[in-house]
Protein backbone atom coordinates (compact mmCIF):
# COMPACT_ATOMS: atom_id res chain seq x y z
CA UNK A 1 0.00 0.00 0.00
CA UNK A 2 1.12 3.59 -0.36
CA UNK A 3 2.97 4.34 2.87
CA UNK A 4 1.94 7.17 5.10
CA UNK A 5 4.12 10.12 4.17
CA UNK A 6 4.35 13.88 4.59
CA UNK A 7 1.19 14.43 2.47
CA UNK A 8 -0.91 12.74 5.20
CA UNK A 9 0.45 14.88 8.06
CA UNK A 10 -2.48 15.96 10.22
CA UNK A 11 -0.78 19.28 10.95
CA UNK A 12 -0.51 20.48 7.35
CA UNK A 13 -2.41 23.67 6.63
CA UNK A 14 -3.09 25.27 3.26
CA UNK A 15 -2.94 28.90 2.19
CA UNK A 16 -6.36 28.14 0.64
CA UNK A 17 -8.20 29.08 3.83
CA UNK A 18 -11.36 27.03 3.13
CA UNK A 19 -9.20 23.86 3.07
CA UNK A 20 -8.47 24.30 6.79
CA UNK A 21 -12.11 24.18 7.90
CA UNK A 22 -12.75 21.22 10.20
CA UNK A 23 -15.72 19.98 8.18
CA UNK A 24 -14.35 20.36 4.64
CA UNK A 25 -14.27 17.24 2.46
CA UNK A 26 -11.18 18.55 0.72
CA UNK A 27 -8.37 19.44 3.12
CA UNK A 28 -4.79 19.46 1.84
CA UNK A 29 -4.45 15.79 2.91
CA UNK A 30 -7.11 14.69 0.37
CA UNK A 31 -6.36 16.19 -3.10
CA UNK A 32 -8.86 14.17 -5.20
CA UNK A 33 -9.02 14.37 -9.01
CA UNK A 34 -11.92 15.26 -11.33
CA UNK A 35 -12.58 16.58 -14.85
CA UNK A 36 -14.19 20.04 -14.90
CA UNK A 37 -14.79 23.26 -16.79
CA UNK A 38 -16.48 26.59 -16.02
CA UNK A 39 -20.24 26.07 -15.63
CA UNK A 40 -22.21 26.68 -18.80
CA UNK A 41 -19.08 27.37 -20.85
CA UNK A 42 -17.83 25.60 -23.97
CA UNK A 43 -14.34 25.29 -22.51
CA UNK A 44 -12.59 21.95 -22.84
CA UNK A 45 -12.89 19.70 -19.81
CA UNK A 46 -9.55 19.26 -18.05
CA UNK A 47 -8.24 17.66 -14.92
CA UNK A 48 -8.51 19.42 -11.59
CA UNK A 49 -7.72 18.74 -7.95
CA UNK A 50 -10.02 19.83 -5.11
CA UNK A 51 -8.66 22.01 -2.31
CA UNK A 52 -11.20 23.43 0.14
CA UNK A 53 -13.95 25.06 -1.94
CA UNK A 54 -11.62 25.56 -4.93
CA UNK A 55 -10.34 23.52 -7.88
CA UNK A 56 -6.70 23.62 -8.98
CA UNK A 57 -6.81 23.77 -12.79
CA UNK A 58 -4.11 21.26 -13.73
CA UNK A 59 -4.05 22.36 -17.38
CA UNK A 60 -3.26 25.91 -16.27
CA UNK A 61 -0.68 24.67 -13.75
CA UNK A 62 0.98 22.49 -16.41
CA UNK A 63 1.06 25.40 -18.85
CA UNK A 64 2.71 27.62 -16.27
CA UNK A 65 5.40 25.00 -15.76
CA UNK A 66 4.81 24.91 -12.01
CA UNK A 67 5.99 21.33 -11.59
CA UNK A 68 9.06 19.38 -12.62
CA UNK A 69 9.95 15.75 -13.34
CA UNK A 70 7.26 13.10 -12.92
CA UNK A 71 4.87 15.65 -11.37
CA UNK A 72 5.12 17.78 -14.52
CA UNK A 73 4.49 14.71 -16.71
CA UNK A 74 1.46 13.87 -14.59
CA UNK A 75 0.03 17.39 -14.70
CA UNK A 76 0.52 17.48 -18.48
CA UNK A 77 -1.44 14.21 -18.82
CA UNK A 78 -4.18 15.67 -16.59
CA UNK A 79 -4.62 18.61 -18.98
CA UNK A 80 -6.64 16.31 -21.26
CA UNK A 81 -10.44 15.87 -21.24
CA UNK A 82 -10.10 12.45 -19.59
CA UNK A 83 -7.73 11.24 -16.87
CA UNK A 84 -7.08 7.86 -18.54
CA UNK A 85 -3.52 8.67 -19.60
CA UNK A 86 -2.62 9.94 -16.13
CA UNK A 87 -4.26 6.92 -14.51
CA UNK A 88 -2.22 4.62 -16.79
CA UNK A 89 1.06 6.20 -15.66
CA UNK A 90 1.10 4.37 -12.34
CA UNK A 91 1.84 5.01 -8.70
CA UNK A 92 5.16 6.85 -8.98
CA UNK A 93 3.61 9.57 -11.16
CA UNK A 94 0.38 9.76 -9.10
CA UNK A 95 2.47 10.19 -5.94
CA UNK A 96 4.85 12.71 -7.47
CA UNK A 97 1.99 14.98 -8.53
CA UNK A 98 0.25 14.59 -5.16
CA UNK A 99 3.46 15.55 -3.35
CA UNK A 100 4.09 18.55 -5.60
CA UNK A 101 0.51 19.77 -5.08
CA UNK A 102 0.73 19.19 -1.33
CA UNK A 103 3.94 21.21 -1.08
CA UNK A 104 2.67 23.97 -3.38
CA UNK A 105 -0.62 24.37 -1.50
CA UNK A 106 0.91 24.50 2.01
CA UNK A 107 1.04 27.66 4.03
CA UNK A 108 4.21 29.53 3.14
CA UNK A 109 4.75 27.74 -0.21
CA UNK A 110 6.86 29.65 -2.75
CA UNK A 111 4.38 28.58 -5.46
CA UNK A 112 1.42 30.31 -3.75
CA UNK A 113 1.21 33.31 -6.10
CA UNK A 114 1.39 31.25 -9.31
CA UNK A 115 -0.89 28.44 -8.05
CA UNK A 116 -3.44 31.00 -6.84
CA UNK A 117 -3.85 31.99 -10.51
CA UNK A 118 -4.86 28.38 -11.28
CA UNK A 119 -7.76 28.25 -8.77
CA UNK A 120 -11.43 28.28 -9.75
CA UNK A 121 -14.26 28.16 -7.19
CA UNK A 122 -16.09 24.81 -7.15
CA UNK A 123 -19.35 26.79 -7.15
CA UNK A 124 -18.43 28.03 -10.66
CA UNK A 125 -17.61 24.69 -12.30
CA UNK A 126 -19.35 21.67 -13.80
CA UNK A 127 -17.98 18.16 -14.06
CA UNK A 128 -17.81 15.37 -16.61
CA UNK A 129 -16.96 11.74 -16.02
CA UNK A 130 -13.35 11.81 -14.79
CA UNK A 131 -12.26 9.24 -17.34
CA UNK A 132 -13.51 7.19 -20.20
CA UNK A 133 -14.86 4.02 -18.52
CA UNK A 134 -14.17 1.07 -20.78
CA UNK A 135 -15.59 -1.78 -18.78
CA UNK A 136 -17.79 -1.76 -15.69
CA UNK A 137 -18.06 -4.70 -13.32
CA UNK A 138 -20.48 -4.75 -10.39
CA UNK A 139 -19.63 -6.82 -7.32
CA UNK A 140 -21.92 -7.89 -4.48
CA UNK A 141 -19.63 -7.58 -1.49
CA UNK A 142 -22.02 -6.80 1.37
CA UNK A 143 -23.07 -10.07 3.01
CA UNK A 144 -25.75 -8.11 4.88
CA UNK A 145 -27.23 -6.87 1.60
CA UNK A 146 -26.89 -10.27 -0.05
CA UNK A 147 -28.64 -11.97 2.87
CA UNK A 148 -31.52 -9.53 3.26
CA UNK A 149 -32.16 -9.30 -0.49
CA UNK A 150 -31.76 -13.06 -0.79
CA UNK A 151 -34.48 -13.48 1.85
CA UNK A 152 -36.86 -11.39 -0.24
CA UNK A 153 -36.17 -13.20 -3.52
CA UNK A 154 -35.63 -16.69 -2.03
CA UNK A 155 -37.03 -16.94 1.54
CA UNK A 156 -35.88 -20.56 1.99
CA UNK A 157 -32.40 -20.06 0.57
CA UNK A 158 -31.21 -16.46 1.14
CA UNK A 159 -27.45 -16.81 0.77
CA UNK A 160 -26.33 -19.04 -2.08
CA UNK A 161 -23.53 -21.48 -1.20
CA UNK A 162 -20.88 -19.82 -3.37
CA UNK A 163 -21.20 -16.44 -1.65
CA UNK A 164 -18.60 -17.04 1.06
CA UNK A 165 -16.06 -18.46 -1.39
CA UNK A 166 -16.30 -16.26 -4.49
CA UNK A 167 -16.45 -12.45 -4.69
CA UNK A 168 -19.69 -12.50 -6.71
CA UNK A 169 -19.92 -10.05 -9.60
CA UNK A 170 -21.30 -9.55 -13.09
CA UNK A 171 -20.29 -7.50 -16.10
CA UNK A 172 -22.33 -4.31 -16.21
CA UNK A 173 -22.61 -1.63 -18.85
CA UNK A 174 -20.55 1.56 -18.90
CA UNK A 175 -22.52 3.53 -21.52
CA UNK A 176 -25.16 4.69 -19.04
CA UNK A 177 -22.76 5.71 -16.25
CA UNK A 178 -22.81 9.49 -15.83
CA UNK A 179 -21.52 12.02 -13.36
CA UNK A 180 -23.38 13.56 -10.40
CA UNK A 181 -26.25 15.76 -11.57
CA UNK A 182 -27.50 13.00 -13.87
CA UNK A 183 -31.23 13.05 -14.56
CA UNK A 184 -32.73 9.95 -16.11
CA UNK A 185 -36.14 8.72 -17.15
CA UNK A 186 -37.81 6.03 -15.10
CA UNK A 187 -37.05 2.85 -17.04
CA UNK A 188 -39.71 0.80 -18.79
CA UNK A 189 -39.53 -2.94 -19.15
CA UNK A 190 -41.06 -6.32 -18.70
CA UNK A 191 -42.35 -7.24 -15.26
CA UNK A 192 -44.59 -9.89 -13.83
CA UNK A 193 -46.67 -9.40 -10.73
CA UNK A 194 -46.58 -12.47 -8.42
CA UNK A 195 -50.30 -13.14 -8.92
CA UNK A 196 -50.35 -12.45 -12.69
CA UNK A 197 -50.37 -15.27 -15.20
CA UNK A 198 -48.38 -13.32 -17.79
CA UNK A 199 -45.84 -10.49 -17.73
CA UNK A 200 -46.63 -6.97 -18.92
CA UNK A 201 -44.49 -4.08 -20.17
CA UNK A 202 -44.51 -0.55 -18.79
CA UNK A 203 -42.78 1.89 -16.43
CA UNK A 204 -40.90 0.35 -13.51
CA UNK A 205 -42.97 0.49 -10.30
CA UNK A 206 -40.21 -0.47 -7.89
CA UNK A 207 -37.37 1.94 -8.70
CA UNK A 208 -34.51 1.85 -6.22
CA UNK A 209 -31.01 3.17 -5.59
CA UNK A 210 -27.95 1.22 -4.48
CA UNK A 211 -25.39 2.79 -2.13
CA UNK A 212 -22.00 1.68 -3.44
CA UNK A 213 -18.42 2.79 -3.65
CA UNK A 214 -16.76 2.80 -7.07
CA UNK A 215 -13.19 1.69 -7.75
CA UNK A 216 -11.19 3.08 -10.68
CA UNK A 217 -8.43 0.98 -12.20
CA UNK A 218 -5.34 3.02 -13.08
CA UNK A 219 -2.54 0.90 -14.44
CA UNK A 220 -3.87 -2.13 -16.31
CA UNK A 221 -2.62 -5.70 -16.67
CA UNK A 222 -1.91 -7.81 -19.73
CA UNK A 223 -4.39 -10.43 -20.85
CA UNK A 224 -3.30 -13.69 -19.28
CA UNK A 225 -1.38 -12.02 -16.41
CA UNK A 226 -3.44 -11.90 -13.19
CA UNK A 227 -2.96 -9.12 -10.63
CA UNK A 228 -1.74 -10.69 -7.39
CA UNK A 229 -3.60 -9.71 -4.23
CA UNK A 230 -0.72 -7.68 -2.80
CA UNK A 231 -0.15 -5.86 -6.12
CA UNK A 232 -3.69 -4.45 -6.21
CA UNK A 233 -2.59 -1.04 -4.89
CA UNK A 234 -0.30 -0.57 -7.90
CA UNK A 235 -3.38 -0.84 -10.13
CA UNK A 236 -6.18 0.89 -8.20
CA UNK A 237 -6.05 4.63 -8.83
CA UNK A 238 -8.80 5.60 -6.40
CA UNK A 239 -12.43 5.49 -5.35
CA UNK A 240 -15.68 7.44 -5.57
CA UNK A 241 -19.32 7.25 -4.47
CA UNK A 242 -21.56 5.28 -6.77
CA UNK A 243 -25.36 5.09 -7.07
CA UNK A 244 -26.21 2.00 -9.08
CA UNK A 245 -29.91 2.55 -9.81
CA UNK A 246 -31.99 -0.60 -9.93
CA UNK A 247 -35.45 -1.53 -11.20
CA UNK A 248 -36.52 -4.20 -8.69
CA UNK A 249 -39.63 -5.42 -10.50
CA UNK A 250 -37.73 -5.82 -13.78
CA UNK A 251 -34.91 -7.52 -11.85
CA UNK A 252 -37.18 -10.04 -10.12
CA UNK A 253 -38.58 -11.27 -13.45
CA UNK A 254 -35.43 -11.27 -15.58
CA UNK A 255 -32.57 -12.24 -13.23
CA UNK A 256 -32.69 -16.03 -13.48
CA UNK A 257 -30.59 -17.76 -14.72
CA UNK A 258 -28.00 -15.21 -15.93
CA UNK A 259 -28.29 -12.36 -13.41
CA UNK A 260 -29.02 -8.65 -13.82
CA UNK A 261 -29.62 -7.15 -17.26
CA UNK A 262 -32.08 -4.33 -18.05
CA UNK A 263 -32.88 -3.80 -14.36
CA UNK A 264 -29.43 -2.31 -13.93
CA UNK A 265 -28.15 -0.73 -17.14
CA UNK A 266 -30.46 2.27 -17.62
CA UNK A 267 -28.45 4.63 -15.34
CA UNK A 268 -25.65 4.63 -12.78
CA UNK A 269 -24.18 7.78 -11.25
CA UNK A 270 -20.67 8.54 -9.94
CA UNK A 271 -19.49 11.39 -7.74
CA UNK A 272 -17.16 13.76 -9.64
CA UNK A 273 -14.05 13.34 -7.47
CA UNK A 274 -11.74 10.34 -7.37
CA UNK A 275 -10.19 10.05 -3.90
CA UNK A 276 -6.85 8.38 -4.53
CA UNK A 277 -5.64 5.13 -3.02
CA UNK A 278 -2.80 7.14 -1.49
CA UNK A 279 -5.16 9.64 0.16
CA UNK A 280 -7.09 6.72 1.69
CA UNK A 281 -3.98 5.16 3.27
CA UNK A 282 -4.72 6.42 6.84
CA UNK A 283 -8.11 4.72 6.70
CA UNK A 284 -6.93 1.20 5.92
CA UNK A 285 -8.17 -1.23 8.53
CA UNK A 286 -7.83 -4.84 9.56
CA UNK A 287 -9.74 -7.36 7.53
CA UNK A 288 -10.88 -10.55 9.19
CA UNK A 289 -13.33 -13.29 8.48
CA UNK A 290 -15.64 -14.85 11.05
CA UNK A 291 -13.86 -18.06 12.14
CA UNK A 292 -17.12 -19.94 11.51
CA UNK A 293 -17.01 -18.95 7.81
CA UNK A 294 -14.79 -20.44 5.11
CA UNK A 295 -11.49 -18.53 5.14
CA UNK A 296 -10.46 -16.85 1.86
CA UNK A 297 -8.59 -19.15 -0.51
CA UNK A 298 -4.80 -18.57 -0.86
CA UNK A 299 -5.06 -16.25 -3.88
CA UNK A 300 -7.50 -14.09 -1.85
CA UNK A 301 -5.52 -14.12 1.38
CA UNK A 302 -2.31 -12.44 2.53
CA UNK A 303 -0.83 -10.89 5.65
CA UNK A 304 -1.11 -7.46 4.07
CA UNK A 305 -4.75 -7.95 3.16
CA UNK A 306 -5.50 -9.13 6.70
CA UNK A 307 -3.64 -6.29 8.39
CA UNK A 308 -4.90 -3.41 6.26
CA UNK A 309 -7.12 -4.63 3.41
CA UNK A 310 -10.37 -3.07 4.67
CA UNK A 311 -11.31 0.59 4.38
CA UNK A 312 -13.22 2.66 6.92
CA UNK A 313 -15.44 4.83 4.71
CA UNK A 314 -18.60 6.24 6.27
CA UNK A 315 -21.52 6.40 3.87
CA UNK A 316 -24.98 7.94 3.97
CA UNK A 317 -28.04 8.29 1.75
CA UNK A 318 -30.40 11.26 1.69
CA UNK A 319 -33.64 11.75 -0.20
CA UNK A 320 -35.23 14.94 -1.47
CA UNK A 321 -38.68 14.69 -3.01
CA UNK A 322 -39.86 17.18 -5.60
CA UNK A 323 -42.18 18.76 -3.00
CA UNK A 324 -39.28 19.17 -0.57
CA UNK A 325 -37.17 20.74 -3.33
CA UNK A 326 -39.96 23.16 -4.26
CA UNK A 327 -40.25 24.24 -0.62
CA UNK A 328 -36.47 24.57 -0.27
CA UNK A 329 -36.24 21.72 2.28
CA UNK A 330 -32.82 20.09 2.54
CA UNK A 331 -32.52 16.39 1.64
CA UNK A 332 -33.47 14.11 4.55
CA UNK A 333 -31.21 11.29 5.74
CA UNK A 334 -32.56 7.85 4.96
CA UNK A 335 -29.76 5.52 6.08
CA UNK A 336 -26.07 5.25 6.87
CA UNK A 337 -23.51 2.51 6.48
CA UNK A 338 -19.77 1.89 6.19
CA UNK A 339 -17.61 0.17 3.58
CA UNK A 340 -15.78 -1.57 6.44
CA UNK A 341 -18.66 -4.10 6.57
CA UNK A 342 -17.73 -5.35 3.10
CA UNK A 343 -17.25 -9.14 2.99
CA UNK A 344 -14.47 -8.74 0.40
CA UNK A 345 -11.73 -6.10 0.14
CA UNK A 346 -10.83 -4.01 -2.91
CA UNK A 347 -7.69 -6.11 -3.38
CA UNK A 348 -9.72 -9.32 -3.28
CA UNK A 349 -12.09 -7.95 -5.95
CA UNK A 350 -9.16 -7.06 -8.21
CA UNK A 351 -7.29 -10.34 -7.62
CA UNK A 352 -10.43 -12.39 -8.20
CA UNK A 353 -11.42 -10.46 -11.33
CA UNK A 354 -8.05 -11.17 -12.93
CA UNK A 355 -7.33 -14.69 -11.60
CA UNK A 356 -8.53 -16.13 -14.90
CA UNK A 357 -6.24 -13.80 -16.85
CA UNK A 358 -8.89 -11.14 -17.56
CA UNK A 359 -7.18 -7.84 -18.41
CA UNK A 360 -8.09 -4.54 -16.78
CA UNK A 361 -7.52 -1.28 -18.60
CA UNK A 362 -6.95 2.26 -17.28
CA UNK A 363 -10.36 3.74 -16.49
CA UNK A 364 -12.09 0.40 -15.92
CA UNK A 365 -14.57 0.64 -13.08
CA UNK A 366 -15.69 -1.72 -10.33
CA UNK A 367 -18.83 -1.21 -8.25
CA UNK A 368 -18.58 -2.62 -4.73
CA UNK A 369 -22.20 -3.74 -4.65
CA UNK A 370 -24.72 -2.22 -2.27
CA UNK A 371 -23.06 -1.47 1.06
CA UNK A 372 -25.54 -2.38 3.76
CA UNK A 373 -24.52 -2.64 7.41
CA UNK A 374 -25.66 -5.32 9.84
CA UNK A 375 -28.66 -3.34 11.14
CA UNK A 376 -31.94 -2.86 9.29
CA UNK A 377 -31.46 0.93 9.45
CA UNK A 378 -28.16 0.51 7.62
CA UNK A 379 -29.76 -0.87 4.46
CA UNK A 380 -28.13 0.51 1.32
CA UNK A 381 -31.28 0.26 -0.78
CA UNK A 382 -35.00 0.95 -0.45
CA UNK A 383 -35.66 -2.72 -1.15
CA UNK A 384 -34.15 -3.42 2.26
CA UNK A 385 -35.44 -0.33 4.10
CA UNK A 386 -39.02 -1.00 2.95
CA UNK A 387 -38.68 -4.78 3.50
CA UNK A 388 -39.40 -5.56 -0.10
CA UNK A 389 -41.98 -2.78 -0.46
CA UNK A 390 -44.07 -4.04 2.48
CA UNK A 391 -43.30 -1.19 4.90
CA UNK A 392 -43.46 2.45 3.84
CA UNK A 393 -41.30 4.88 5.74
CA UNK A 394 -42.18 8.48 6.45
CA UNK A 395 -39.94 11.41 5.58
CA UNK A 396 -39.75 14.51 7.82
CA UNK A 397 -41.98 16.21 5.21
CA UNK A 398 -44.72 13.70 6.03
CA UNK A 399 -44.45 12.06 2.60
CA UNK A 400 -44.19 8.28 2.51
CA UNK A 401 -42.01 6.05 0.35
CA UNK A 402 -41.48 2.40 -0.35
CA UNK A 403 -39.74 2.92 -3.69
CA UNK A 404 -38.80 6.10 -5.59
CA UNK A 405 -41.34 8.49 -7.12
CA UNK A 406 -40.78 10.73 -10.14
CA UNK A 407 -38.95 13.90 -9.12
CA UNK A 408 -37.13 12.23 -6.22
CA UNK A 409 -33.46 13.16 -5.95
CA UNK A 410 -31.10 10.78 -4.15
CA UNK A 411 -27.95 12.16 -2.53
CA UNK A 412 -25.08 10.00 -1.30
CA UNK A 413 -22.18 11.22 0.78
CA UNK A 414 -19.04 9.55 2.07
CA UNK A 415 -16.13 10.50 4.28
CA UNK A 416 -13.35 9.10 6.45
CA UNK A 417 -12.48 10.35 9.91
CA UNK A 418 -10.53 9.10 12.90
CA UNK A 419 -8.32 10.43 15.66
CA UNK A 420 -4.81 11.20 14.41
CA UNK A 421 -5.69 11.67 10.73
CA UNK A 422 -7.26 14.47 8.73
CA UNK A 423 -10.94 14.01 7.92
CA UNK A 424 -11.29 13.56 4.15
CA UNK A 425 -14.51 13.40 2.14
CA UNK A 426 -15.75 12.17 -1.22
CA UNK A 427 -18.12 15.09 -1.87
CA UNK A 428 -21.50 13.84 -2.99
CA UNK A 429 -23.34 12.16 -5.81
CA UNK A 430 -26.84 13.43 -6.55
CA UNK A 431 -29.23 12.43 -9.30
CA UNK A 432 -32.90 12.77 -10.06
CA UNK A 433 -35.63 10.50 -11.40
CA UNK A 434 -37.68 11.88 -14.31
CA UNK A 435 -41.04 10.49 -15.50
CA UNK A 436 -40.94 7.51 -17.87
CA UNK A 437 -41.41 7.89 -21.61
CA UNK A 438 -45.10 8.04 -22.47
CA1 LIG B 1 -25.17 -2.77 -8.00
Kindly report the CATH number assigned to the domain that includes residue 168: 3.90.850.10
Distance, CA 123 to ligand 1 centroid (Å)? 30
Given a cut of 70, whether residue 82 has pLDDT beyond it is yes
How many distinct structural domains can be found in the chain? Answer: 2
Distance, CA 367 to ligand 1 centroid (Å)? 7
Mean pLDDT of the chain: 97
Same domain, yes or no, for 118 and 208? no
CB neighbours of 1 closer than 8 A, spacing ≥ 6? 233, 277, 281, 284, 304, 308
Spatial contact of 82 and 139, defined as CB atoms under 8 Å apart: no
Same domain, yes or no, for 351 and 403? yes
For residue 114, list its beta bridge partners. Answer: none
Distance, CA 211 to ligand 1 centroid (Å)? 8
- Report how far residue 275's alpha carbon sits from residue 236's, in angstroms, rounded to the nearest whole number: 11
Same domain, yes or no, for 308 and 189? yes
Distance, CA 399 to ligand 1 centroid (Å)? 27
| Domain-ending residue, one of 108, 128, 148 | 128
Give residue 2's pLDDT. Answer: 67
- Report how far residue 2's alpha carbon sits from residue 98's, in angstroms, rounded to the nearest whole number: 12
CB neighbours of 227 closer than 8 A, spacing ≥ 6? 221, 235, 350, 351, 354, 360
Q: Domain for residue 317, yes or no?
A: yes
Given a cut of 80, whether residue 18 has pLDDT beyond it is yes
Catalytic annotation present for 145: yes
| Domain-ending residue, one of 128, 148, 178 | 128
Pairing of strands 424-434, 183-185: parallel
- Report how far residue 320's alpha carbon sits from residue 399's, in angstroms, rounded to the nearest whole number: 10
Same domain, yes or no, for 198 and 111? no
- Report how far residue 223's alpha carbon sits from residue 92's, in angstroms, rounded to the nearest whole number: 23
Q: Domain for residue 37, yes or no?
A: yes
Q: What is the CATH number of the domain that holds 113?
A: 2.30.30.230
| Domain-ending residue, one of 79, 112, 128 | 128
> Pick the catalytic residue: 8, 145, 235, 352?
145
DSSP for residue 320: E
* Percent over 70 (pLDDT), the chain: 100
- The whole domain housing 413 covers 136-434
Distance, CA 249 to ligand 1 centroid (Å)? 15
Same domain, yes or no, for 176 and 303? yes
Same domain, yes or no, for 243 and 391? yes
pTM for the model: 0.97
pLDDT tens digits, residue range 294-303? 999 999 999 9
Given a cut of 80, whether residue 1 has pLDDT beyond it is no
Distance, CA 213 to ligand 1 centroid (Å)? 10
Same domain, yes or no, for 274 and 336? yes
Same domain, yes or no, for 53 and 167? no
Q: Domain for residue 29, yes or no?
A: yes
Distance, CA 435 to ligand 1 centroid (Å)? 22
Same domain, yes or no, for 288 and 392? yes
Same domain, yes or no, for 43 and 185? no
Q: Domain for residue 1, yes or no?
A: no
pLDDT band at 438 (very low <50, low <70, confident <90, very high): confident
Q: Domain for residue 235, yes or no?
A: yes
CB neighbours of 230 closer than 8 A, spacing ≥ 6? 302, 304, 305, 347
CB neighbours of 438 closer than 8 A, spacing ≥ 6? none
pLDDT band at 155 (very low <50, low <70, confident <90, very high): confident
Q: Domain for residue 175, yes or no?
A: yes
Given a cut of 60, whether residue 375 has pLDDT beyond it is yes
Exposed e or buried b per residue across 406-418, where buried means at least 16 C-beta atoms within 10 angstroms of its C-beta: ebbbbbbbbbbee
pLDDT tens digits, residue range 393-430? 999 999 999 999 999 999 999 999 999 999 999 999 99
- 3 state DSSP class of 159: coil
Q: Domain for residue 227, yes or no?
A: yes
Same domain, yes or no, for 83 and 141? no
Distance, CA 145 to ligand 1 centroid (Å)? 11
Same domain, yes or no, for 173 and 64? no
Q: Domain for residue 165, yes or no?
A: yes
Given a cut of 70, whether residue 345 has pLDDT beyond it is yes
Given a cut of 80, whether residue 383 has pLDDT beyond it is yes
- 3 state DSSP class of 164: coil
Amino acid sequence: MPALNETHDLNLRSWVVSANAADTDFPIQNLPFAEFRRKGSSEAFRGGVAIGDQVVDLAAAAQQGLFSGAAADGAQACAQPTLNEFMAMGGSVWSALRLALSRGLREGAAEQASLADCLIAQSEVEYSLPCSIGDYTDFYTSVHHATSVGKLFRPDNPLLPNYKWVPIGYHGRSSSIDVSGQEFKRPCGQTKAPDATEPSVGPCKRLDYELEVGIYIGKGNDLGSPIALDDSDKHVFGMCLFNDWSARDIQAWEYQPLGPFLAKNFASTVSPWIVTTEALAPYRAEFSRDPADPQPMPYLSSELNSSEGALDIKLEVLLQTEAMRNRGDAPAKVSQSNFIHSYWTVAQMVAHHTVNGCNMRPGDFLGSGTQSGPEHEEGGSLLELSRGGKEAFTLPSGEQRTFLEDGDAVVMRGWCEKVGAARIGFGEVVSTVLPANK
